Chain A
Amino acid sequence: KAGVTQTPRYLIKTRGQQVTLSCSPISGHRSVSWYQQTPGQGLQFLFEYFSETQRNKGNFPGRFSGRQFSNSRSEMNVSTLELGDSALYLCASAGGPPGLAVNEQFFGPGTRLTVL
């Protein structure tokens, strides 16, 4: 099976712009989560989508949003970019039945966003 893919891999934007990142999960996986990784804050959960619905949300401002399509692909959008948004954005997908079990997440290579 192909792994999680993320596009683009690198992105440079300026303050005030907006950006959209894309994630394609492993085939058959319906859960897609997004994480932000910075040297100062480490790995932080942004949000998770399952069957096109946002199921969990982290503590990020409303400038960070996402969506999931019927084929489970997901996009993440950041509006009005700030310097502090420079980070590695990781997408992860998880499979398995939606029960009590928390399944392992498989991560993509990430999109490195630099805000100038």
Chain B
Amino acid sequence: AQKVTQAQTEISVVEKEDVTLDCVYETRDTTYYLFWYKQPPSGELVFLIRRNSFDEQNEISGRYSWNFQKSTSSFNFTITASQVVDSAVYFCALSEAVQGAQKLVFGQGTRLTINP
């Protein structure tokens, strides 16, 4: 069975600090996909990134970066120079790579609060 663990339930930092959100996953599949979503107070999940299991390159997008390590089954997300607008709940998710499978297994989420 697939499982995603986000051990950090809540994180609170002061604006401009760097913050890393941890994500550890479990799967027996050799091919799979990992995702990060952001859920602001409005409730709508916003897609941030998709990564397949064959691509272990780290990715940077502006102040966001992701570190994927298959050896430790982790897909961590770092926000550099955090801003108040980054305050949200962040979800890590896993999907098997079966044809047509559009079924996400989510972690419990990390509530990130950026204080001015």
B-binding residues in A (CB < 8 A):
31, 33, 35, 42-45, 48, 50, 55-56, 58, 88, 90, 92, 94, 98-110, 112
Contacts and interface: CB of A to CB of B under 8 A. Distances in A.
Contacts of A110: 43-44
Interface residues of B, number: 29
B106 to A, nearest CB: 4
Interface of B: 31, 33, 35, 37, 42-47, 50, 52, 91, 93, 95-109
Given A104-B47, A106-B47, A98 B91 contact: no
A113 to B, nearest CB: 13
A106 B37 CA distance: 10
Contacts of A56: 100-103
B73 to A, nearest CB: 18
A98 B101 contact: no
Interface of B is mostly: loop
A42 B102 contact: no
Nearest to A6: B44
B102 A33 contact: yes
A109 B102 contact: no
Contacts of B101: 55-56, 102
Contacts of B103: 33, 45, 48, 56, 58
Name the residue among B93, B106, B108 with the largest chain A CB count within 10 angstroms. B106
